[in-house]
Amino acid sequence: MSPFTLKVTIVSSVLFLVGAGAFAFMWFQTQQQGELLVAQLNTLSEQRAQEEAYFRLRRVADESELERAELSGYFFSGESESIDFLNTVEKLAPESGVTLKTSTLELVTDTDDSKEWVEIGFEFDGSRSRVQNFLMILEELPYVSKITTVDTVAIDQNQWQAKVTMRVRVLTYVE
Amino acid sequence: MLNKDQITQFAKGIVRSQKGLQNHQLMHPRREWLIGIVVALCIFSASIVWSSLKYFEYQNIEQQAVTEPEAPVTVYRKNLVDEALASFAAKQARLNALVGKNTTQIPTVVVDEEAQEGGDSAEETGATSSNPVTATSTPPATSTPVTVPEEPAPKEPLAEQTPSEPEQTPEESAPPDSSEPDEELELQPATNVF
């Protein structure tokens, strides 16, 4: 092998190695940048999705603000709000012809669903029809409520007494 | 002297001896150049194909990445809310009817019959009765019309006592009170849970 041939062979080999190295480097960079691009695109799409969800939620919240406010009015926001409720009931009692006494008022937690209720006990007396009517009034109060116990006793021929325990739901939000 | 075997072996050696370099073993610069060009073109073409595939792959990734992750669906059950509001409106209307009606009339059937006979005037006047619930911090009254006719306020029957029974109030003169004082009321605890 002549020196010229040997020289050309060596130069060709070096050039081939350089070219192969450059090709490998570019291939590696392409793969790496591709993965980076995918990650960035995923992040961008997640951000877009979150923005879209946020705007959608905000639109729903704005559109339903009045309805939610009205619905929340049917709940107690806390135990202190029961004072207004009691004032309402105590105002309704004389108008219905019964004598009302509030016996208990406490915050209880339902054992079944672990939700908070304000439990209120009422004792009222009057004629039978008025006691019945006031019971129905308690049932129809526009609150998220339930009457848990009703105990009616005839004191005499014209006088009846009822002991009612009712619960009004306290509004709590689940996060 | 060479014998026959030696001559044969010598002849075989001549036959099997190298005849020189074959044609393909000789260097042909044009051929080697062409082979180099072809190999380079193959590599170049493979690169083009691979680059194109990658290009189209990454070109579609953006669309896939945008469309694949779905935004969390915001559920607002408007129908359920409307039903709840309607339910509470109905309760409010029933409460208004109960507060405004005469307490001596308990059966609702009788009330409905009287409503048909009484006409619309009684309903209109009854619907305007004050609502103690809405007067406080409870939610505002809804626009649902009152379906149960309103009767005079509970205080009014006191003035309508008959002369024959001056000591009895109207509600005390109701048949259930006087006839069955010991009867147990068949009232079930109402559960109005939203």
Contacts of residue A15, defined as CB under 8 A and 6 or more positions apart, other chains included, come to: none
- CATH for A76-169 (1.10.10.60, 3.30.70.60, 1.10.260.40, 3.40.1280.10): 3.30.70.60
Contact A73 B138 (CB under 8 A): yes
Indicate the residue of A34, A53, A156 with minimum beta-carbon distance to B74.
Answer: A53
Q: Tell me which of A65-74, A164-173, B3-12, B95-104 is least confident.
A: B95-104
Q: What is the mean pLDDT of chain B?
A: 60
pLDDT of residue B66: 53
d(CA B99, CA B137): 18
Residue of A70, A72, A159 to mutate, interface with B, max B Cβ within 10 Å: A70
Residues of chain A with pLDDT under 70: 174-175
pLDDT of residue B67: 56
**Higher pLDDT among residues B191 and A129, named by residue:** A129
Indicate yes or no: CB of B78 within 8 angstroms of CB of A169: no
Supply the pLDDT for residue B119: 39
A17 φ/ψ angles, rounded to the nearest 5 degrees: -65, -40
Strand order in the sheet with A116-126: A99-109, A116-126, A160-169, A145-154, B191-192
Contact assignment for B140 to A70 by CB distance below 8 Å = yes
pLDDT at position B74 is: 66
Reported as type and span, the H/E element at residue B162 is: none
Quick one: pLDDT at residue A100?
92
Instruction: Check A128 against B132: CB less than 8 A apart.
Output: no
Check whether B128 has a pLDDT greater than 70. Answer: no
Residue A78 DSSP one-character state: S
The stretch B98-117 carries a mean pLDDT of 46
**Structure ipTM:** 0.73
Each residue of B133-162: pLDDT tens digit? Answer: 333 333 333 333 333 333 333 433 333 333
Question: What does the pLDDT look like over B49-63, one tens digit per residue?
Answer: 988 888 887 777 655
* DSSP class of B143: S
- Say how many CB pairs under 8 Å bridge A and B: 172
pLDDT at A137: 92
For the ranges A153-157, B9-13, B29-33, B158-162, the lowest mean pLDDT is seen at B158-162
pLDDT band, very low/low/confident/very high, at B110 (cuts 50, 70, 90): very low
Helix (H, G, I), strand (E, B) or coil at A145: strand
Residue B173 confidence (pLDDT) above 80: no
Q: Do A97 and B54 touch (CB under 8 A)?
A: no
Q: What is the pLDDT, as a whole number, of residue B150?
A: 37
What is the spatial distance between Cα A38 and Cα A90, in angstroms, rounded to a whole number?
A: 67
A146 min Cα distance to partner chain B (Å): 4
pLDDT band at B76 (very low <50, low <70, confident <90, very high): confident
Q: Return the higher-pLDDT residue of B129 and A55.
A: A55
- b/e code A127-144 from CB counts within 10 Å (16+ = b): bbbbbbbbbbbbbbbbbb
Q: Where residue B175 falls among pLDDT bands split at 50, 70, 90?
A: very low
Q: Is B102's Cβ below 8 Å from some Cβ in A?
A: no
